[in-house]
Amino acid sequence: MLIQLRETGETPLPHEGDKRLAVGIDLGTTNSAVAISTGNKPEVIRDAHGRALVPSVVAYAPDGAVMVGEEARRELLENPGWVVSSIKRLMGRGVEDIKKLAGALPFEVAEPATGESAMVRLKISGRRLTPVEISAEILKALKHQAEEALGHEIARAVITVPAYFDDAARVATKDAGRLAGLEVLRLVNEPTAAALAYGLDKDAEGLYVVYDLGGGTFDVSLLRLEKGVFQVLATGGDSALGGDDFDHAVAEQFLRERAEKHGAHALSPAEVAQTLATARLVKECLSQHSKGEWVLDAGDKSSRHTLTRPELEKLIAPYIDRTIGICRGVLEDAKLSASEVKGVVLVGGSTRIPYVRKRVGEFFGKKPLADINPDEVVALGAALQAEALTAGSDTLLLDVIPLSLGIETMGGIVEKIIPRNTPIPVAQAQEFTTYQDGQTAMMIHVVQGERELADQNRSLARFELHGIPPMTAGAARIRVTFAIDADGLLTVSAQEQTTGVSQRVEVKPSYGLGEDDMARMLRESLDHAKDDMVKRLLVEARVEARRAVNAVTSALAVDGDLLDNTECAAIERALQRVESALRGEDREVLNAAVEALDASTLGFAERRMDRGIRKALAGKTVTELEDSSATGS
Amino acid sequence: MNTMADRQTFEHSDAKLGNGKLATCWSCKGPVDRGALFCPTCGIVQPPHAADHFQRLGLNRGFDIGDDVLSRRYFDLQARLHPDRFASRTATERAASLAQATALNEAYQTLRDPLSRAAYLLQLAGIEAPTEASGTVADPELLMESLERREALAEAQLPEEISKIVAAAEEDAKACVGVLSKAFASGDLEEAKRLTTRFKYLNKLAEEARARLSRAPC
């Protein structure tokens, strides 16, 4: 009998060859990047031209062609109507959110059809597209770039999200990954990923702040670093604040100057896009130079504009003030002061602006760290986490929920269920009762945010509990459990306590896609969607089969003496059938072999439990029992 | 507060096995000590068993647990049980890990803050954790103190005055922790309950005062 003996808790990870390697993806507002890590050495994956950053820009030509990155950005000049940029700002957003940004975003928004969720849909080149589909195009391009560079298929990824992303935006990001043909192993918060990239480099210990100002989002996280543990203590931010706002401020300034000269006139979406592109150049230029002059062409008139660095600083100061205020709030949440912070890490392209560095440095009283390229650091951290999840790691990320989770009660008041900055995963239960005799259903509205009134917070989902046993009002006790997993995603389950009638509800956010939508998009988007699904199921079945084989071989090693030769041979045969099915490609055969293995060990399991009980009654623990049998064999 | 994790996915109908000391490993179906994190035979992660927060983190029940010891236990256990360690494993292993990590977080979150730790200790002793309404009114001395401080805060206009109130409340809260520790150590639960109520009140006052400070222009 050939049995492999393994240390407790050290069953080997399944190996599926290189294609089981996972990449780390920073899906940014302005730029995205993909990286891979082997042996704790993360590297950004470049394209054929040596470029690491892929502009988060997608262009849809009327003939159906889709372009991503530089190629799409070039269309901005010729065919601005085909082009979508900064789509991240719309992830998990609804139509009414977009109206608030109206004018700021050069998109044409389609009204939702009846029965559709409130998720925003854009009209581009005659197509109706959700932010999930548009983001999926960026992810597909990154996946392709990685596959070209590495020479093999990439099917799994860690994708980063702003720490301050709410549940709807997180779900949208995960859905985009699925649509791009990627299994999303984990959503990691961007500041946490950046800390991971820095921490491993520097072996840092103590309190660190990550100040992450990107194109469209601002995040700040306070972390405690200690012997490979990255513990997020508090996080804050604004999911609609970033470099894009600076561009808008500059563009508005120029348009005001223009209106004084030529009189006000409405700009076409294309002209808005061009003005914003110019404004971005202005901002970038003034990080290097103290002054510059630019020309705006719109309609048949052109205008000249000058801007100095101090003038730019004045334009963006209100936004920087907001970020500093958020930093102060995060320190307060953690009951810490700025002087206790050991280091400040800068992340995101907008932290290249000298004024941002100056203000952050002043607030924390120390020169911020920016040794790692702020555009690449998040992808590098994501790659490290991807390696940790697939190959194992000594580091540990402990993150928190960024926004409080609550439910709407009578009068629209929010009752907090899980306060912000609670470590995840987390679960909390709340008991509800019925208010009418015979009531069998109940609606629960889940919101996320810090405000007192439900409608001032973000609506995540309304879900209905059905099948409450009819009782007099107030007699039913329905325990609803709100659980947040390690991705920061919410699941709600409910159970009536007196009868035990339970119901599990997967929350589909108010701004999410239904399973039907998702299935249709997968069909339309991926020619190989079905193949991918079959492959994934086979991989899962193999992981499960290896677990079963390990369980039985371990049990035989310890308690094999409980079996006679015939019984032992029967189990051995069942094991061999699983082993041979594992070498094949047929999932059905594999699953059947595992079931047969389970069945062949039923009697064995009973005898093992009997032995365990006898030992336990004799006052021995199983661990002692194992120790004695190990020395005996 | 109950441990959610106990209810999720895993049912332990075998509670009476081996005098209640044993459970069955869900994977190899062999015996496992109740509360073991991994099966000694096949090495598979087990779902969490019912335990109080102190047991969960391997600490002696008491008010003085030491922040360092608490963090170290928590980190060590999360390092073995966190879902990140099981990303490539079977769905059942992932669910067990998720439930374990959730239970650990609940224990850590409850015990790391001295106020919720005190309230939890009282709850374990069968004493209803004091709520603002019942606690404040029942204790005339605290009621008086509360009224005076609240009046001072309402009258304070300048940031320096408010800062002073915050500092005083924080200092008194700190002192409160010291006395609480003694009360729990000597088993005087009535005193512990009174102090916990006061502690809670001081925290709340400091928080409100701080909120006024951050609203004030700087």
Q: Are B99 and B8 in contact (CB under 8 A)?
A: yes
Smallest Cβ–Cβ distance between A551 and the set B19, B27, B32 belongs to B27
Look up the pTM and report it: 0.84
DSSP A101-125: TBTTB--PEEPPPTTS-SB-EEEET
Q: How many CA atoms lie within 13 A of A188 on its CB side?
A: 35
Q: Flag whether residue A404 sits within 8 Å of chain B, measured between CB atoms.
A: no
Which of A260, A291, A315 terminates a domain? The answer is: A315
Q: Which chain B residues are within 8 Å of A618, Cβ to Cβ? A: none
Cβ separation B30–A185 shorter than 8 A: no
User: Taking a C-beta distance cutoff of 8 angstroms, is the pair A226, A394 a contact?
Assistant: no
CATH fold for the domain made of B4-112: Helix Hairpins (1.10.287)
In the predicted model, is pLDDT for residue A508 greater than 70?
A: no
Chain A 522-541, residues with CB within 8 Å of chain B CB atoms:
540
| Overall domain count for chain A | 4
Pick the CATH number of B129-215 from 1.20.1090.10, 1.10.10.10, 1.20.1280.20, 3.20.20.70: 1.20.1280.20
Collapsed DSSP state (helix, strand, coil) of residue B106:
helix
Query: In 3-state terms, what secondary structure has residue A486?
Result: coil
Is there a single domain that holds both residue A116 and residue A191? yes
Q: Residue A2 falls within a domain, yes or no? A: no
Highest mean pLDDT among A255-269, A318-332, A515-529: A318-332
* Cβ–Cβ < 8 Å for A37, A17: no
The DSSP code for B31 is: E
**Residue A204 covered by a domain:** yes
A390 with B21: Cβ contact below 8 A: no
Residue of B nearest to A558 (CA): B41
Report which of A349, A359, A352, A259 is spatially closest to residue A303, judged by C-alpha positions. A259
Residue A1 lies in a domain: no
Could you tell me if A147 and A282 lie in one domain? Answer: no
CA angle, A72 then A75 then A76, to 5°: 100
DSSP state of A367: P
pLDDT band at B129; cut points 50, 70, 90: low
The angle, 0 to 180 degrees and rounded to 10, between the axes of the packed helices B91-112 and B114-124 is 100
Range of the domain at A591: 529-632
Mark whether A54 and A124 lie in a shared domain. Answer: yes
Q: Inform me whether the pLDDT recorded for B217 exceeds 50.
A: no
Contact at CB, A14 and B88, closer than 8 angstroms:
yes
Equal CATH topology for B4-112 and B129-215: no
Chain A nearest-CA residue for B110? A422
pLDDT of A355 over the 90 cut: yes
Q: What is the pLDDT of residue B215?
A: 60
3-state helix, strand, coil in chain B (%, to 5): 65, 5, 30
pLDDT digits (tens, 9 = 90+) for A360-403: 999 999 999 888 888 899 999 999 999 999 988 888 999 999 88
A505 touches chain B (CB under 8 A): no
Smallest CA–CA separation between B63 and chain A, in Å?
21
pLDDT for the residue numbered A422: 94
Query: Among B4, B17, B34, B86, which would you mutate to test the A interface (most chain A Cβ atoms within 10 Å of its Cβ)?
Result: B4
Q: Is A266 exposed, middle or buried (0-12, 13-18, 19+ CB in 10 A)?
A: exposed
Q: How far apart are CA A345 and CA A192, in angstroms?
A: 11
Q: Quick one: pLDDT at residue A17?
A: 45
Please identify among residues 167-196 of chain A the ones whose CB lies closer than 8 Å to any CB of chain B: 185-186
Query: Stretch A491-497: mean pLDDT, rounded?
Result: 81
Is the pLDDT at A502 greater than 80? The verdict is no
**B91 token code pair:** 């769905």
- Which residues of B are less than 8 Å from A548 in CB distance? 27
CATH number of A257's domain:
3.90.640.10
pLDDT confidence of residue A621: 62
Provide the shortest C-alpha distance from residue B93 to chain A (in Å): 10
Q: Note whether A6 contacts B: Cβ–Cβ < 8 A.
A: yes
Task: Enter the tokens of residue A584.
Answer: 């094949």
More confident residue, A236 or B214: A236
Residues of B in contact with A613 (CB under 8 A): 17-18, 22, 31
Q: How far is A207 from chain B (nearest CA, A)?
A: 15
- CATH number for the domain including A460? 2.60.34.10
Indicate if the pLDDT at residue B135 is higher than 60.
no
Looking at beta carbons, which residues of chain A come within 8 Å of B89? 13, 543, 547
- Using pLDDT thresholds of 50, 70 and 90, give the confidence band for residue A110: confident
Are B78 and A481 in contact (CB < 8 Å)?
no
pLDDT over 80 (residue B134): no
Q: What is the predicted pLDDT for the residue at A513? A: 67
Distance between CA atoms of A513 and A112, rounded to whole angstroms?
12
Q: What is the mean pLDDT of residues A563-569?
A: 91
Look at the block and give the residue holding tokens 């061999």: A576
Q: Give phi and psi for A552, each to the nearest 5.
A: -70, -45
Q: Is the pLDDT of residue A72 over 50?
A: yes
Assess whether A393 and A249 both reside in one domain.
no
**pLDDT, tens only, B64-116:** 998 889 999 999 999 999 999 998 899 999 999 999 999 999 999 999 988 89
Residue A294 shares a structural domain with residue A332: no
Q: End-to-end CA distance of chain B, in Å? A: 40
A113 touches chain B (CB under 8 A): no
**Average pLDDT score, chain A:** 85
- Rounded Cα gap, residues A165 and A1, in angstroms: 54
A559 touching chain B per CB within 8 A: yes
A547 and A453 belong to one structural domain? no
pLDDT tens-digit map of A286-331: 888 888 888 888 777 788 888 889 999 999 999 999 999 999 999 9
Q: What is the pLDDT, as a whole number, of residue A505?
A: 59
Q: Which residue has the higher pLDDT, A517 or A248?
A: A248
What percent of chain A has a predicted confidence (pLDDT) above 90? 44
Q: Which chain A residue has its CA at the smallest distance from B90's CA?
A: A544
Eight-class DSSP state of B62: S
Residues in chain A, total: 633
| Angstrom distance (rounded) from CA A206 to CA A224 | 6
Find out whether A35 and A379 touch, Cβ atoms under 8 Å.
yes
The distance of B94 to chain A (nearest Cα, Å) reads 11
CA A542 vs CA A20, A211, A549, A581: distances in Å? 13, 42, 10, 9
Backbone angles phi, psi at B44, to 5 degrees: -80, 145
Residues A547, B93: C-beta atoms closer than 8 Å: yes
Are A553 and A586 part of one and the same domain?
Answer: yes
CA distance A187 to A172: 11
Residues of B in Cβ contact (< 8 Å) with A429:
2, 4
From B53's Cα to the closest Cα of chain A, the distance in A is 14
Q: Residue B182 is encoded by which pair of tokens?
A: 């003694």
**In chain A, which residues have their Cβ closer than 8 Å to the Cβ of B40?**
8, 622-623, 626
By annotation, the residues of A acting in catalysis are 26, 88, 190, 212
Residues A107 and A68 in one domain: yes
Determine the residue type at B28. C
Task: Establish, for the pair of chains A and B, how many residue pairs have beta carbons separated by less than 8 Å.
Answer: 172
CA B56/CA B39 separation, integer angstroms: 17
Residue of chain B nearest A184, judged by CA positions = B87
Query: For residue range A604-616, what is the model confidence (pLDDT) as tens digits?
Result: 999 999 998 888 8
Q: Given an 8 Å threshold on Cβ–Cβ distance, is A328 in contact with B214?
A: yes
Interval A181-186 mean pLDDT: 92
A626 vs A167, higher pLDDT: A167
Write down the residue that tokens 């940029």 correspond to: A85
With beta carbons less than 8 A apart as the criterion, state whether A446 and A507 touch: yes
What was the pLDDT predicted at A106? 62
**Using an 8 Å Cβ cutoff, are A41 and A26 in contact?**
no
Distance from CA of B19 to the nearest CA of A (A): 7
Strand runs labelled E in A178-244:
183-189, 206-213, 218-226, 229-238
Contact A356, A214 (CB under 8 A): no
Query: Which CATH number does the domain housing residue A553 bear?
Result: 1.20.1270.10
Between CA A35 and CA A386 the distance in angstroms is: 10
What is the pLDDT averaged over residues A135-145? 95
Domain-located, residue A252:
yes
CATH of residue A33's domain is 3.30.420.40
Distances (CA, A) of A93 to A1, A132, A403, A485: 60, 11, 16, 22
Residue A42 and residue A141 share a domain: yes
**CB contact (8 A) between residue A608 and residue B75:** no
Pair of tokens at residue A49: 């031209």
Better-predicted residue by pLDDT, A359 or B175: A359
Instruction: Kindly report the nearest CA distance between residue A29 and chain B, in angstroms.
Output: 27
Contact A547 B7 (CB under 8 A): no
Cβ contact, residue pair B88, A481, below 8 Å: no
Q: For residues A576 and A158, give the distance between their C-alpha atoms in angstroms, rounded to a whole number.
A: 36
Where along chain B do its domains lie?
Answer: 4-112, 129-215
**Mean pLDDT value of segment A152-174:** 91
At residue A258, φ and ψ (nearest 5 deg) are -65, -45
What chain A residue is nearest to B23 in terms of C-alpha separation? A609
* Radius of gyration from C-alpha coordinates of chain B: 22
Q: At what angle do helices A529-559 and B91-112 cross, to 10 degrees?
A: 80
In this structure, are A188 and A72 located in the same domain? yes
Nearest residue of chain B to residue A391 (CA atoms)? B88
When the pLDDT of each residue in chain B is averaged and rounded to a whole number, the result is: 82
Q: Do B31 and A396 touch (CB under 8 A)?
A: no
Residue A54 DSSP class:
E
The Cα–Cα gap between B181 and B67 comes to: 14
* Contact status, residue A345 vs residue A371, Cβ threshold 8 Å: no
Percent of chain A with pLDDT over 70: 87
> Would you call A226 an interface residue with chain B, using a CB distance cutoff of 8 Å?
yes
- Closest by alpha carbon to A215, among A86, A68, A93, A374? A86
Q: Mean pLDDT over residues A96-119, rounded? A: 66
Q: What is the pLDDT of residues A3-29, one digit of tens each?
A: 333 333 433 444 444 446 899 999 998
- Which residue has tokens 């879900």? A463
- Residue A370 pLDDT: 84
ipTM score: 0.84
- As a whole number of angstroms, the distance between CA A17 and CA A541 comes to 16
Q: With 0-12 CB in 10 A as exposed, 13-18 as middle and 19+ as buried, what is A554?
A: buried
For residues A338 and A298, give the distance between their C-alpha atoms in angstroms, rounded to a whole number: 47
Residues A306 and A330 in one domain: no
Alpha helices in A158-298 (DSSP H): 167-179, 190-202, 243-262, 269-288
Q: Specify whether A340 is located in the same domain as A222.
A: yes
